[in-house]
Amino acid sequence: MKYALLIGINYIGTDSELYGCINDINNIGAFLQSVRNYTLFIHMTDNTNIKPTKANILAAFNLLVQVVKPGDEVWVHYSGHGSLMRDMNRDEESGYDSCICPIDFQHSGFISDDTIRTNLVLKIPKDASLYIVLDACHSGTGCDLRYKYDDSSYYINKNKPMPNKYVPSEWALVQTSYELKKYSQTRGNVYCISGCQDNQTSADAYDTTGQAAGALTFILLSASRSNPLQTYKWKHLLKDICCGEKINGFSQRTAITSGGPLNLENTVFTTPPVIVSSNMVSKKDTMQSSSTRPQLPNLKSMLTNLQISKSIKMQSNKIRLNMPMNYY
């Protein structure tokens, strides 16, 4: 089974209003349904009956971990504000936890990376896969996963101005992996694609048609739709996103983190890593699938009676995104 939790918050009518987050959720939902064959969705936006409050988001996490089984796949996509909060358990070198901002965060507080790890990441069973996309500020280690992958690919023609479109062969591949040993490996196959590093901000911008969009979500979808996913490698996805950010003048740099060692030569969204303790090697495998399609149990009753608030005060910058992307 494939389950998706899609959260997009524009903070409508507030001082910190964004414009592309609901569009992001609609666009990623269409991709998951048409390309990845997802059929079971939970949508939370400013406009849905079930609002993206802190309580509702945590209830949705709890619901997902109750129904997911070995062989299942879960996609959690968050587009909205991100922030930092003081690290209380001293697991962050910076002294700050990354966090996401529910629609009622001023009253109910943030959802920290510690909470995401405890309530969602660590509860994914063995042989199930969880993909998390955090299109938000300060999200580089937003799930507190053990392995981290960064990209520093550069434009080969240094004497020429930065091109206005992306041609992969014009960029030299440079990538670095890190092991954050303070975090244990996960039982399930967990991957997170973050909009930026922990000390950076992510852009709420516009696509080539003038539609508001998050920079990460737009480039991620452009890359995924422009390449055959059966052969598209993690190293190419990370490179394509980060180079796309550079071409468009964004300072943000996407990171990929994983709960087990990830071989970037493996194909995206289909290859769980082999969990080992001493090196960064992974192995191709085939995700199990189920022919049955159970319904998400008692979703409405779990979420309906929770409190809703829309009082937001946060500043954000808007940058126009204009990127016709080309690939191999």
**Helical pair 21-34 and 215-226, crossing angle rounded to 10 deg:** 20
* CA 288 – CA 127 distance, rounded (Å): 8
Place of tokens 């979500």: 217
Strand partners, 315: none
Report the relative pairing of strands 189-194 and 73-79 from DSSP bridges: unpaired
Secondary structure in 3-state letters for 141-153:
CCCCCCEEEEECC
Distance CA 208, CA 213 (A): 10
Q: Known catalytic residues? A: 81, 137
Residues 208/165, Cβ–Cβ less than 8 Å:
no
What is the β-pairing status of strands 189-194 and 129-135? parallel
Say how many C-beta atoms besides its own lie within 10 A of residue 239's C-beta: 24
Rounded to 5 degrees, what are φ and ψ at 243? Answer: -70, -35
CA 298 to chain centre: 26
Alpha-carbon gap, residue 314 to 81, rounded angstroms: 9
Distance CA 323, CA 63 (A): 37
- The Cα 252–Cα 245 span in angstroms is 7
3-state helix, strand, coil in the chain (%, to 5): 25, 20, 55
What distance in Å separates the CA atoms of residue 57 and residue 193, rounded to the nearest whole number?
Answer: 19
